[in-house]
Amino acid sequence: MDVSGNPREGDYKFMGIVVGSQEIFDRIMKNFNSDPRHDTRYKTNTNRRFFISKLKLKNKEVVALAVTINRDDIINKVRGQLRIKQKGVSSGKIYKAYNYLVWNRSRDRIQEFIVDHHLELCDVIFQCDRDCRMFAKENGLHNADPGNAHFVADLIAWARNNGINIPGMVTIDVTDRLVEALKKSVLN
C-alpha cells in the first residue's frame, strides 16, 4: 500500500493497493532482473517507467487497485463547509473519518480476491511505508515494513498519478462519494 501525489505538502492524489501472495511478489521482483527496493535510482521517472513496462499483473494472482483519493482537496472542502455549519470539529476527526471511508470504498475489491483464495482479511499483511502506516492502523489492518508488495503498490500509485495505465490495474475513483459521506460521518 502506498500513496502518490506531493507528499512534502501532504497532498495525496492516488493510493496504490496490491494484494497477492509473497510468492507472486517475489516472482514480479525477479522479472525486474534487479532489486529496485535497494537501489535509490529507481525513484527517477525513467527507471519507474522501465519497471512499470516490465510489470505483469495477472488478475487471478494479484489485485492491483489505483484509488483516486484527492485527500487534501476533499478534506479542505469538507473542513470549509463544516466551519460554516459547526464549530469545533477537529482535523483529527476529519482525517480519521476520511481514512475509514477510503478503506470502506476499497475493501470490497480486496475482499473478492481474498474470498477467491480462501483467506480472511485478518490473514492479510499490508506492507506500507510511513505515509500509509496510520491509515492501516486506523482501519485495523496488520501492517509490516515495506517489501516487495509495497514496491509494486508504489509503482501503481505513481503510474496513476502520471496518467500511465498498467494492464491488470483496476482504477477506482471515490472522490465524488467521499465529500458527502465524510460530512455525514464527521457530524455523527
pLDDT of residue 40: 55
Q: What's the mean pLDDT in 118-122?
A: 82
How many Å separate Cα 110 from the centre of its chain? 12
Residue 177 φ/ψ, nearest 5 degrees: -80, -20
150 or 38: which leads in pLDDT: 150
Q: What's the mean pLDDT in 69-74?
A: 84
What does the alpha-carbon distance between residue 75 and residue 57 come to, in Å, rounded to a whole number? 32
How would residue 4 be classed by pLDDT, with cut points 50, 70 and 90? confident
pLDDT of residue 59: 67
Residue 45 belongs to what domain range?
Answer: 2-187
> Number of folded domains in the chain?
1
Q: If we measure between CA atoms, which residue out of 107, 15, 111, 133 comes closest to residue 67?
A: 15
Average pLDDT, the chain: 80
pLDDT of residue 164: 92
What does the alpha-carbon distance between residue 63 and residue 19 come to, in Å, rounded to a whole number? 5
C-alpha cell at 160: 496513476
Asked whether residue 187 carries a pLDDT value surpassing 80, the answer given is no
Asked whether residue 55 carries a pLDDT value surpassing 60, the answer given is yes
Per-residue pLDDT tens digits for 145-177:
778 888 888 899 999 989 999 988 989 887 877
